[in-house]
Amino acid sequence: MDEVIQVTQWLSSITPRKKAKLFFFTTHADAPSPMVRSNDVDTHEETQLPLATTVALHNFKNIDEFLKKKVNTFSCYNVIENEITKTDYEYLRFYSACKYLDVVPPFLDLEKISAIQNKFEMTDEERDYRLLLDSADLVLEKVCDSLKPAGVSQMWTALRKDRNLIRRVKTIDIIGFFVDPNPTGIKECLFFFIVRFLQKADKINRVNTNRLERLIAQCDESSSCEEGKTLDFIIDSLRFYPTELYPFGFCLIMCVIEGRDGAMQEIEKTMEISRHLSMITHTEKNPTKETIELVKKELMKPKYQFYSSFTCWFMSHGDSNSMVLADGETIEREWFLTSFPDISTFQLKPKVFFMVSCRGANKFSLKGDEFEGQSATCDYYDIGSALIRNRMLDITDSVRDISYVQPMMDTFVAYSTILDHLSGRANTHGSIYVDRACVLMSENISRGRSLTEILEHLSQDLHEILQETMDEDRIVYKQACHYDSFFRKTLKLPYTRHPKEDVHSAPQ
């Protein structure tokens, strides 16, 4: 059959709502590309003009033409070995979006998908199409599905009132002030236009969604939300780190085995919980400084930009400032923690570090330790909330910026013990902290708990356990864990496990 006829038949089989979503996923605003900058004029036109004209004319002709062009480009595309191109990214995004929406063209060359995945050096686990979907876009899709056409229309009206933001934007004028979002698929096109417009204007990204939340907050709840949804529910969904579908993220386990009883148990437990959380895992036993540098270099490869989060377990002996490696050399803990968050592939994504080692030799001994309780009150804090609001600064959009991000932002560091203190171990089972952390994560995977909630429970649980030193003094002590957070959103564990689905992968 003629390819033109095939493409036409394929497009005619897709509903308007799915066409809008396919266009949205395919034109992913933050798609990694060294060739096209986010403020490129052509990119603006390509991602916004078809949506604008579709909303204005109630006609999907331009979106159809865009999808036809993509299919034709992929049909003529020759996969070049070793060199990763913009088209490679686009091909993978397009394929994963089609799989997700169940609209894969029967004529799409899946062998090219496999060849591109080879260029990215993807493992069998990484060839699952769900890895290629952007979690932030999936969250935005759910927000759109939770809103009625009237709700999106109200968001549009609120956006149009911000004259400084929309000044001299041609696509805004194409749509006009009043729109009818009720025809099938138009609500989606208008919502996705708003999202892409705010992204291109550097007002929102996968972490900073305040501007979008404020538009939603201006809607009338009685007419804007689908049945069973509320504005609070919709806005709250934007306040979590996007980690939808499989995998939950990439997990790196580094464990020094030499001289650490129970170390293999630590590896088994952390590998088990990472699998339970649907993470793709890599383990390094007895790491050295050279190993760490090689891992950092590996994580800079383009394929890691598809991951939604990064977790690292580092288990070794240590003191207040450093950690002991397998070859007896030490590395500064601060150096380790600051070198990983700066890796570009995980920018704007949650990065969690579990640092399991002693940080000194002090012990919170139970014998003879007494602490006098202290409390303090101050009339200064007894201020009515209205008075507080009246004294707050009026922070305008003109003094907000989301373009520049301090490297440590979106990083979370969990320590097995507090500074200058021991981190307890069991002879056969290894770190007690690792054991309890894995147990609590496993128990809470289907309860919608956040990482911080679980670690607060872990802090309580660990501090109840009586431990004993292994030296001749046999001192009974307690261990206290803590964490440092640079998070800007909440990180929740997945509600359900998402096992690898081989049936959805491209042929090897």
In three-state secondary structure terms, 279 is strand
**307 near 131, Cβ under 8 Å?**
yes
Q: 31-63: per-residue pLDDT in tens?
A: 444 333 444 444 556 778 999 999 999 999 999
Q: Is residue 325 part of a domain?
A: yes
Residues 316 and 223 in one domain: no
Residue 368 reports pLDDT greater than 60: no
Would you place residue 382 in the very low, low, confident or very high pLDDT band (cuts 50, 70, 90)? very low
Over residues 465-484, the mean pLDDT reads 84
Q: Which range, of 283-287, 434-438, 463-467, 504-508, averages the lowest pLDDT?
A: 504-508
Would you place residue 357 in the very low, low, confident or very high pLDDT band (cuts 50, 70, 90)? very high
Q: What is the DSSP string of 286-303?
A: S--HHHHHHHHHHHTSGG
Residue 84's contacts (CB-CB under 8 Å, 6 or more residues apart) are 119, 120, 302
Domain boundary, last residue among 203, 221, 239:
239
What pLDDT, on the 0 to 100 scale, is given for residue 428?
79
Residues 204 and 268 in one domain: no
Domain boundary, last residue among 239, 265, 291:
239
433 vs 36, residue with greater confidence: 433
CA distances from 223 to 103, 193, 198 (A): 32, 21, 24
12 vs 461, residue with greater confidence: 12
Sign of the Cα pseudo-torsion (436, 442, 447, 448, in order):
positive
What pLDDT, on the 0 to 100 scale, is given for residue 500?
55
Over residues 72-79, the mean pLDDT reads 90
Please, what is the average pLDDT of the chain?
A: 85
State the burial class of residue 471 (Cβ atoms within 10 Å of its Cβ: 0-12, 13-18, 19+).
exposed
Would you place residue 404 in the very low, low, confident or very high pLDDT band (cuts 50, 70, 90)? confident
Domain limits at 98? Answer: 1-28+43-239
The rounded Cα 436 to chain-centroid distance in angstroms is 25
Query: Which residue type does 431 have?
Result: S
Would you place residue 25 in the very low, low, confident or very high pLDDT band (cuts 50, 70, 90)? very high
Residues 284 and 206 in one domain: no
Answer whether the bond into residue 247 is a cis peptide, omega within 30°.
Answer: yes
State the burial class of residue 123 (Cβ atoms within 10 Å of its Cβ: 0-12, 13-18, 19+).
exposed
Residues 429 and 286 in one domain: yes
Over residues 105-124, the mean pLDDT reads 93
Residues 86 and 169 in one domain: yes
What pLDDT, on the 0 to 100 scale, is given for residue 371?
32
Over residues 361-369, the mean pLDDT reads 64
Q: How far is the C-alpha of 11 from the C-alpha of 188, rounded, in Å?
A: 17
Q: Is residue 316 part of a domain?
A: yes
Q: Which one-letter DSSP state was computed for residue 105? A: -
- On the CB side of 459, CA atoms within 13 Å amount to 14
Residues 357 and 423 in one domain: yes
Q: What angle do CA 228, 443, 272 make, to 5 degrees?
A: 120
Residue 442 reports pLDDT greater than 70: yes
What pLDDT, on the 0 to 100 scale, is given for residue 42?
47
Q: Is residue 499 part of a domain?
A: no
Q: Which range, of 102-106, 446-450, 451-455, averages the lowest pLDDT?
A: 446-450
Would you place residue 406 in the very low, low, confident or very high pLDDT band (cuts 50, 70, 90)? confident
**190 near 152, Cβ under 8 Å?**
yes
Residues 201 and 280 in one domain: no
Q: Is residue 380 part of a domain?
A: no
Would you place residue 176 in the very low, low, confident or very high pLDDT band (cuts 50, 70, 90)? confident
Q: Is residue 383 part of a domain?
A: no
Residues 175 and 57 in one domain: yes
Residues 353 and 461 in one domain: yes
Residue 75 reports pLDDT greater than 70: yes
Q: How far is the C-alpha of 275 from the C-alpha of 142, rounded, in Å?
A: 26
Residue 89 reports pLDDT greater than 60: yes
Residue 403 reports pLDDT greater than 90: no
Over residues 93-105, the mean pLDDT reads 95
Pairing of strands 430-431, 425-426: antiparallel
Q: Is residue 372 part of a domain?
A: no
Q: How far is the C-alpha of 437 from the C-alpha of 460, rounded, in Å?
A: 11
What pLDDT, on the 0 to 100 scale, is given for residue 385?
44
Q: 311-351: per-residue pLDDT in tens?
A: 999 999 999 899 999 999 999 999 999 888 778 889 899 99
Residue 497 reports pLDDT greater than 60: no
Residues 228 and 256 in one domain: no
**398 near 405, Cβ under 8 Å?**
no
Residue 365 reports pLDDT greater than 70: no
Q: Is residue 96 part of a domain?
A: yes
Q: 219-228: per-residue pLDDT in tens?
A: 998 999 999 9
What pLDDT, on the 0 to 100 scale, is given for residue 44?
56
Which CATH number does the domain housing residue 326 bear? 3.40.50.1460
Query: Which residue type does 403 have?
Result: S
What pLDDT, on the 0 to 100 scale, is given for residue 494?
78
Could you give the number of structural domains in the chain? 2
What pLDDT, on the 0 to 100 scale, is given for residue 434?
92
Nearest one of 108, 38, 116, 111 to 70, comparing CA atoms: 108
Residues 416 and 444 in one domain: yes
Query: Which residue type does 65 have?
Result: E
What pLDDT, on the 0 to 100 scale, is given for residue 35?
35
Would you place residue 162 in the very low, low, confident or very high pLDDT band (cuts 50, 70, 90)? confident
Q: 135-161: per-residue pLDDT in tens?
A: 999 999 999 999 999 999 999 999 999
What pLDDT, on the 0 to 100 scale, is given for residue 289?
94
Domain boundary, last residue among 200, 220, 239:
239
Q: Is residue 75 part of a domain?
A: yes
Residues 231 and 260 in one domain: no
Residue 72 reports pLDDT greater than 60: yes
